[in-house]
């Protein structure tokens, strides 16, 4: 019977010939991930079980990235717990400060996730790794604790939906705009517990950075996962980095999908998601004059070198509006170094922006850019819920790096074409 890429990966990891949507299965995992918010809970549960070793020290990644560098005593204790656990159980992939980056950018960069994997992470945006052709999804800290013991996780096999993109992208339109447009179309519950499969000629021409952005935000449509079939773009990215062999899967041409959508990307403008849901999307040409107080360029969604290059292209030779704060956050030390080598950091500093070390920081209202009462921010992050970036009366508008950079100059939400 024809199968989707998701069904094939899950079947292989369950040791079965085939699985079907709706089945409850137990699968072998290739990587378990946790951060400084979720790992301490998992560690407490694990140690209460009196188990003396984890299933595989090579298959666990611990990345403190939400409140680092430690913003207070509590966050310092959380990272301290992770550090001690990693040392006690020989966890090889513990990343801190100089080696630490935003987890969902760092792991692919380090070659720790490869096509065909099953990856679970105690963070909802673990679905990012679907860009590599892996089944990746967020789970709770209790599930991570169980996986540390058993090396397995259980799932209900999700139905798949196929999203086809064709046509040529307009200037300044990226994967961020495609996924915002898609979420605006199907809604934040439109893919609930589904695997979002991204296909089409326009997808084939996207770089890995844009694919990761789209897979990252699958969760914002309620999806269990987002996934791209590996192609030559994938292989060119993975091959120099991969720490282990991998297997490529793809959907059968006549596989069954619970829903299908098709999009002509030539008709999609840069998008802005208004408060307080990612589905509240509008084309930039329809946005009225909305003054802003802050712009954040970074996060696991748009903190890659390609995003920083786009922002620098808009900002070069210009200065941000005197009423706006610009915060730029390279997602990993490697990206920071590359941005420095390419002169991007000079552009941001000349524009009167502030450059942060790698951190999730303001995305979740952690630190490094908290909003005050009534303030508005344009952010390249992935969520704009009430109080997401600070005070409950503040507002977050989601956009790609080009619109974010242009807005910092204009002092209001605007397009780079206006410059």
Q: Is the pLDDT of residue 411 over 90?
A: yes
Question: What integer pLDDT is reported at residue 380 of this predicted model?
Answer: 98
Q: Which of 241, 263, 285 is the last residue of a domain?
A: 263
Is residue 225 helix, strand or coil? strand
Q: Are 154 and 68 contained in the same domain?
A: yes
Kindly indicate the confidence band of residue 15, based on its pLDDT and cuts at 50, 70 and 90. Answer: very high
Q: Could you please report the per-residue DSSP string of 48-97?
A: HTT--S-S-GGGEEEE--SSTTT-SHHHHHHHHHHHHHHHHHT-SEE--G
Kindly indicate the confidence band of residue 384, based on its pLDDT and cuts at 50, 70 and 90. Answer: very high
Q: Are 253 and 276 contained in the same domain?
A: no
Question: What integer pLDDT is reported at residue 412 of this predicted model?
Answer: 97
CB contact burial 6-31 (16+ within 10 A = b; e otherwise)? bbbbbbbbbeeeebebeeebebbbbb
Q: Which of 212, 228, 263 is the last residue of a domain?
A: 263
Question: What integer pLDDT is reported at residue 414 of this predicted model?
Answer: 97
Q: Are 233 and 348 contained in the same domain?
A: no
Q: Are 138 and 222 contained in the same domain?
A: yes
Q: Which of 22-31, 66-75, 267-276, 405-414 has the least mean pLDDT?
A: 66-75
8 A C-beta contact, residue 358 and residue 333: yes
Q: Are 235 and 336 contained in the same domain?
A: no
Question: What integer pLDDT is reported at residue 296 of this predicted model?
Answer: 98
- Alpha helix (H) residue ranges in 125-207: 141-150, 175-186, 201-204
Q: Are 397 and 365 contained in the same domain?
A: yes
181-212 confidence digits (pLDDT tens): 999 999 999 999 999 999 999 999 999 999 99
Indicate which CATH number applies to the domain containing 314: 3.30.499.10
Using CB atoms within 10 A of its CB, is residue 171 exposed (0-12), middle (13-18) or buried (19+)? Answer: exposed
Kindly indicate the confidence band of residue 111, based on its pLDDT and cuts at 50, 70 and 90. Answer: very high
Q: Are 378 and 252 contained in the same domain?
A: no
Question: What integer pLDDT is reported at residue 97 of this predicted model?
Answer: 86
8 A C-beta contact, residue 234 and residue 132: yes
Q: What is the domain range of residue 381?
A: 270-418
293-320 confidence digits (pLDDT tens): 999 999 999 999 999 999 999 999 999 9
What is the β-pairing status of strands 152-156 and 159-166?
A: unpaired
Q: Are 296 and 226 contained in the same domain?
A: no
Q: Which of 240, 263, 286 is the last residue of a domain?
A: 263
Query: Domains in the chain: how many in total?
Result: 2
Top-confidence residue, 68 or 326? 326
159-171 confidence digits (pLDDT tens): 999 999 999 999 9
Q: Are 124 and 226 contained in the same domain?
A: yes
Using CB atoms within 10 A of its CB, is residue 283 exposed (0-12), middle (13-18) or buried (19+)? Answer: middle
With pLDDT > 90 as the criterion, what percentage of the chain qualifies? 96
What is the β-pairing status of strands 225-227 and 354-355?
A: unpaired
Q: Is the pLDDT of residue 50 over 90?
A: no
Q: Read off the pLDDT of each residue in 258-287 and give the average, rounded to a whole number.
A: 96
Q: Are 277 and 258 contained in the same domain?
A: no
């Amino acid at each position: 019977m024809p199968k989707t890429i998701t069904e094939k990966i899950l079947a292989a990891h369950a040791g079965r010939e085939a699985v079907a949507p709706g089945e409850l299965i137990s699968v072998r995992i290739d990587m378990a991930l946790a951060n400084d918010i979720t790992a301490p809970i998992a560690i407490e549960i694990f140690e209460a079980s009196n188990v003396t070793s984890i299933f595989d020290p090579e298959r666990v990644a611990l990345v403190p990235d939400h409140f680092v560098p430690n913003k207070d005593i509590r966050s310092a204790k959380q990272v301290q717990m992770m550090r001690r656990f990693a040392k006690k159980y020989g966890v090889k992939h513990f990343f801190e400060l100089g080696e630490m980056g935003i987890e969902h950018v760092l792991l692919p960069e380090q070659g720790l996730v490869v096509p065909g994997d099953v990856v679970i992470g105690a963070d909802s945006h673990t679905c990012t790794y679907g860009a590599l052709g892996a089944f990746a999804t967020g789970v709770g800290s209790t599930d991570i604790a169980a996986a540390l013991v058993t090396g397995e996780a259980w799932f209900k096999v999700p139905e798949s939906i196929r999203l086809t993109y064709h046509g040529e992208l307009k200037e300044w339109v990226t994967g961020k705009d495609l996924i915002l447009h898609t979420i605006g179309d199907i809604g934040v519950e439109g893919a609930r517990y589904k695997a979002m499969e991204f296909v089409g000629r326009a997808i084939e021409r996207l770089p890995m950075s844009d694919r990761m952005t789209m897979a990252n935000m699958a969760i914002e449509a309620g999806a269990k996962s987002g996934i791209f079939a590996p192609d030559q773009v994938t292989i060119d990215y993975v091959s120099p980095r991969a720490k282990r062999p991998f297997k490529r899967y793809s959907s059968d041409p006549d596989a069954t999908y619970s829903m299908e959508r098709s999009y002509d990307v030539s008709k999609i403008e840069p998008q802005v998601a208004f408060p307080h849901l990612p589905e509240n999307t509008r084309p930039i040409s329809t946005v009225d004059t909305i003054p802003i107080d802050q712009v954040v360029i970074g996060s696991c969604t748009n903190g890659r070198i390609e995003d920083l290059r786009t922002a620098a292209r808009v900002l070069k030779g210009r200065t941000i509006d005197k009423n706006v704060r610009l915060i730029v956050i390279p997602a990993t030390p490697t990206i920071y170094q590359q941005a420095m080598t390419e002169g991007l950091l000079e552009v941001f500093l000349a524009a009167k922006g502030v450059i942060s070390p790698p951190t999730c920081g303001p995305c979740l209202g952690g630190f490094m850019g908290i909003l005050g009462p009534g303030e508005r921010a344009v952010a390249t992050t992935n969520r704009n819920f009430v109080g997401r970036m600070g005070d409950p009366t503040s507002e977050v508008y989601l956009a790609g790096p080009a619109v974010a950079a242009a807005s910092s100059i204009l002092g209001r939400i605007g397009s780079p074409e206006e410059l």
